[in-house]
């Protein structure tokens, strides 16, 4: 059976609101900022990385702990952490023979919390 296309979500006539367009263009991000934001969301678009970040949002963890928590190998965790570090989403500190990971800053914690809030909202 052929489904009818719902056109209720588009304007029925072409009418560009010049004043609104001008104001919106003035508020647009720089292309480099757009690229960096898109890259951040691209890195966030992986379930394993979200699990790692969620674990790190609760406490500082070492690679061994993260591997046990998300149930993947240490080399896979290290690979994911390298990607997250490259995107400035996590950071690490070395303490003796241990390397401890945490979320990079409060912005990342808030971004993750808002994502969780969004999916849990009805």
The answer to whether residue 9 sits within a structural domain is no
The answer to whether residue 44 sits within a structural domain is yes
The answer to whether residue 86 sits within a structural domain is yes
Place of tokens 């390397």: 99
The answer to whether residue 85 sits within a structural domain is yes
| pLDDT for the residue numbered 4 | 52
Rg for the chain (alpha carbons), in Å? 21
Number of domain units in the chain = 1
Mean pLDDT of the chain: 93
Place of tokens 């678009």: 45
The answer to whether residue 13 sits within a structural domain is no
**Domain ranges, residue 95:** 18-120
The answer to whether residue 4 sits within a structural domain is no
* Angle, CA of 38, 116 and 68, to the nearest 5°: 95
> At 108, which CATH number?
1.10.10.10
Sheet of strand 98-103, all strands in order from the earlier edge strand to the far edge: 61-62, 98-103, 90-95
- Which pLDDT band, with edges at 50, 70 and 90, does 98 fall under? very high
The answer to whether residue 10 sits within a structural domain is no
The answer to whether residue 6 sits within a structural domain is no
pTM across the whole model: 0.83
The percent of residues above 90 in pLDDT, for the chain, comes to: 87
Q: With CA atoms as reference, report the closest residue to 112 among 69, 59, 54, 70.
A: 54
């Amino acid at each position: 059976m052929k489904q009818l296309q719902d056109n209720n979500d588009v304007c029925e006539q072409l009418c560009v609101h010049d004043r609104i367009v001008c104001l919106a263009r003035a508020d647009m991000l720089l292309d480099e900022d757009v690229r960096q934001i898109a890259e951040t969301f691209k890195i966030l678009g992986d379930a394993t990385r979200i699990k790692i970040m969620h674990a790190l949002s609760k406490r500082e963890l070492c690679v061994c702990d993260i591997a046990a928590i998300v149930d993947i190998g240490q080399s896979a965790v290290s690979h994911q952490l390298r990607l997250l570090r490259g995107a400035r989403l996590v950071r690490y500190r070395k303490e003796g023979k241990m390397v401890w990971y945490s979320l990079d800053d409060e912005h990342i914690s808030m971004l993750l919390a808002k994502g969780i809030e969004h999916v849990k909202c009805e």
